[in-house]
Structure formats: structure tokens, C-alpha cells
Amino acid sequence: MERIFYVNGEFVPADQAVVSAEDRGFNFGDGVYEVVHWYNYRPFLLEEHVERLIHSAQVIRIDLPWSKEELTEIALETAKRNNLKDDYIYMQISRGRAIRQHSFPKNVQPTLVMNPQPAAKPPEEVRQKGARVISIPDIRWLHCDIKALSALANILAKQQAKDHNVDDVLYDRAGVGVVEGGSSNIFYYKDGTLYTPPLSPYIFPGITRAKVIEIAGELDIPLGEKVFSLKEVLEADEVMLVSTGYEVLSVTEVNGLKIGNGVPGEIAKKLQDRYTEHVRKACYV
């Protein structure tokens, strides 16, 4: 089945889903995006993702002509036209088409694209054995709390992981500590408490991060939000990365060193199992 995109008011086949060479998303990465997972033909946490998309657009001062309800309806219609079952929709907004200049153009219509994609899940072997990651210096900008289109630093980081034959990276920011994974939030478990960095400009306010915090409360797992070092990560009983694609993924090796006993731990399993229950209640009932 050919994928059907939504582009600026029209539903078109993938090979016709184009934007102008003058679009500021193309020229500057001047825009924001979200990715929503569809399970069993239903979206999971769509409302939260749409709200965050609108917030990100507001932060970078894009005046949206679409309401929350309109963006939601367009996403649902895109999913319907693509018969999405276990797939993603990338919702992308740029400032729009304008003559190339760095300052904001006037009277420009933002560009909206809904891009259906197969769900990119970790291989089952990684899920069963745990992910292997490396730490790298965090060279990203100081607004990692915005899901911006300009993701070149993330691309370079993901390629670095591939070059080293590992599954992902951990960003280690000078003067701060370990902040997150290549495209995910990080948690670690030590001596009965689950830890994650507090929200700040250095980390992305993940929808899955918030859901895992909620689930930890349901399971009576003590939670602490604090900045932490790579040394603390290496000394953890368990480490896990969480995201729309990963859900809850155990990390069993960092920089070639085993985490805990080198296999996925019970806390990660409990969190993943409860996360799966939330998905089932939302999308399978």
C-alpha cells in the first residue's frame, strides 16, 4: 500500500509529498515535530503529543493557524488513509516558505506535513539482551527541550553509535552530567530508587518519560529527579532508555562496561510490563 502524506491541506502519495526549496524547514531546520505511535489502529497519547507540538511552535514563535482539535483530526485522518496498525505518524511544522533570510519573514503560512512511517522498534535481540551504548560529549544547542527539526547533532551521534557497533549513545554534557540518550530519556535504578534528570533546557520533556514516572508511582517505586554523572550511571544496578520507540529499554553495557549483572533487570521489566498494560487499555479495549 502506497503511503499517503498530508502536505499543506492535501493528502498526496509519498512521491508527490514535496515542499518548496524555499521552505525554512529545508533551509534552516526552522520548525518543530512530534512522533506518535499507533497501536492496533489507535494512537497512544496523541493528545499529549499534539499539545507538546503546539507548545514547541509557540516557543520558537510560529503562529499556528490550526487548533489542537484540527491538528488532531488531520493526524487521525492521515492514519485512517494509511490504515495504520503498528506505525508512526511524524507531525512536522516549519515556519513556511519565504526568501532566504535569517530573521522571521512576515505574512508567511506555516508548512504542515503528516508523514506516516513504519514503527522503528529495537530488534528483539536488543530487547532481550539489553542495549549497548557509548557516552559522547553533548555538542547540541541549549534548547534540547524543544523538539526541533534541526537535528544534525543527533544524526551525527546516532552515526557515531553505528560506527562503534553499539545501539545508542548517552549525551554527557560538560559541567552538567549525563542528560539523555541519543533520542530518548534516561533512568537509572540504584539501591531501591529510580532516578532521572530533572526537566531543564538540557533534556527533552519526553511524553514517555512522564508516563514512566506515572507508572513508577503506580508500582510504588521511589523516584528521584537529579543530575548525575557518568560514574553514577556505571555504578547503577539498572539503566534504561525510554521513548516512543523504545518504550522502556534496558541498557546493559556502557562504554564496554557491564551495568549490574549485564542482563536486563527486574525494574525495567516491571516498568515495561505496566507500560504495555497502559497501551492495551488505551488501544486494544
DSSP 56: H
Q: What count of residues does the chain have?
A: 285
| The model's pTM | 0.95
Write the pLDDT tens digit of every residue in 128-154. 999 999 999 999 999 999 999 999 999
Measured CA angle at 188 (ends 186, 193), to 5 deg? 135
Q: What's the pLDDT score for residue 1? A: 76
pLDDT at 282: 97
Domains of the chain (ranges, CATH numbers): 4-118 (3.30.470.10), 124-283 (3.20.10.10)
- Looking at the chain, the whole-number percentage of residues with pLDDT higher than 90 is 99
52 close to 205: Cβ distance less than 8 angstroms: yes
Which residues are identified as catalytic? 147
CA 179, 184, 187 angle in degrees (round to 5)? 60
pLDDT digits (tens, 9 = 90+) for 177-208: 999 999 999 999 999 999 999 999 999 999 99
Q: What is the pLDDT of residues 46-105, one digit of tens each?
A: 999 999 999 999 999 999 999 999 999 999 999 999 999 999 999 999 999 999 999 999
The grid coordinates listed for 230 are 557518568
Helices 46-59 and 68-82 cross at an angle (nearest 10°) of 130
Say how far residue 47 (Cα) sits from the centre of its chain.
15
